[in-house]
Structures are given as structure tokens and as C-alpha cells.
């Protein structure tokens, strides 16, 4: 895992980055690896890939973060990326793999109300995706909205959102 994280930092080759992210994502299926990746500063390295201009790299980074977000301690570190993930969802092509990967991560990060406030500004985007997206996009957006709606503090923001 340490070598993969180092490789991710050391290369500019999108194909190598994509493969390293896939491997890290698969490794994150095991809870012990989630802790190891966090302790090796892997979350910030993977998070840094969100600014990559290659859509496949960005998608694989979001997928890896999604798998890593199944851990509460990882969520505490990933939460600093929520605003960036929301912007990525908003700017990604409609129904794209990048958009869906971002929505899946936001679904996991919104299971508890801890980070709902960081998603408030994206509610209009979520509602737009609900009306314009394909069924896959709509289902993923609904998961985020259901999680947000479970928090009474979000009611006002959800009902006042301009679409």
C-alpha cells in the first residue's frame, strides 16, 4: 500500500494513476487496509487526484475515497473534501461516471448528519440532477437527499432551494 501511494504521488501518467487508484480502492474493501491507507497519508494523496483533469483518474479517486469512507476516522479526514466533491458533481457532465462516483461518495458521507452543512450549497444541483438525470443518477441523488432529509436542521434548506 505504501508503494502504491508513493507511486501515485510520483507519476504523472494517467494510466498508472488509474491502476494504482483501482488497486487502492479494492484494497479498501478490508477495514485493516482502510486504517493503513489513512495512516500512510493516503487519503490526502488520493484526495489530491480529485483535481486531476483526466476524468477516469478523477472517477477512480472518487471510488477509492468512497470505499475508504466506510470508516469513521477516514470520514473525519475525507470531510475536508466534501465541498470539492460537490463542485465536481456539479461540473461533471450529466450522468457521467465521475458524477455518479461523486454522488456515491456524498451518499456515504451523508449517512450521519455530521457533514450535512457542507452540502447545503449543492442542494439546488441535487434537485436539478433529480429532474434531468437518468434513472441511475436519480437513484443516487435520491439517496443523498434522503440522508439530508433525515436531519431536521436541513428541512429549511431543502424546502427553500431554488431549482
Residue among 131, 50, 120, 60 nearest 91 (CA): 50
Sorted by where each starts, the structural domains of the chain and their CATH numbers stand as 1-78 (1.25.10.10), 80-162 (no CATH)
pTM, two decimals, is: 0.95
Task: Compute the distance between CA of residue 109 and CA of residue 82 in angstroms, rounded to an integer.
Answer: 8
The pLDDT averaged over each successive group of 10 residues in the chain (163 residues) is 96 97 96 96 97 97 97 97 98 98 98 96 96 97 97 94 82
The pLDDT, as a whole number, for residue 72 is: 95
C-alpha cell at 28: 479498501
What's the pLDDT score for residue 119? 97
Amino acid at each position: 500500500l505504501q508503494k502504491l501511494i508513493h507511486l501515485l504521488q510520483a507519476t504523472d501518467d494517467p494510466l498508472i494513476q488509474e491502476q494504482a487508484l483501482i488497486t487502492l480502492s479494492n484494497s479498501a474493501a478490508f477495514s485493516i487496509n482502510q486504517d493503513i491507507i489513512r495512516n500512510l497519508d493516503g487519503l490526502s494523496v488520493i484526495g489530491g487526484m480529485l483535481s486531476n483533469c483526466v476524468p477516469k483518474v478523477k472517477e477512480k479517486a472518487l471510488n477509492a475515497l468512497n470505499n475508504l469512507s466506510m470508516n469513521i476516522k477516514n470520514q473525519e479526514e475525507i470531510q475536508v473534501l466534501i465541498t470539492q466533491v460537490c463542485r465536481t458533481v456539479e461540473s461533471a457532465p450529466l450522468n457521467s461516471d465521475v458524477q455518479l462516483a461523486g454522488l456515491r461518495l456524498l451518499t456515504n458521507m451523508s449517512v450521519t448528519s455530521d457533514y450535512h452543512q457542507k452540502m447545503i450549497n449543492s442542494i439546488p444541483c441535487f434537485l436539478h440532477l433529480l429532474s434531468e438525470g437518468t434513472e441511475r443518477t436519480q437513484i443516487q441523488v435520491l439517496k443523498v437527499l434522503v440522508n439530508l432529509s433525515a436531519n431536521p436542521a436541513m428541512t429549511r434548506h431543502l424546502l427553500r432551494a431554488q431549482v
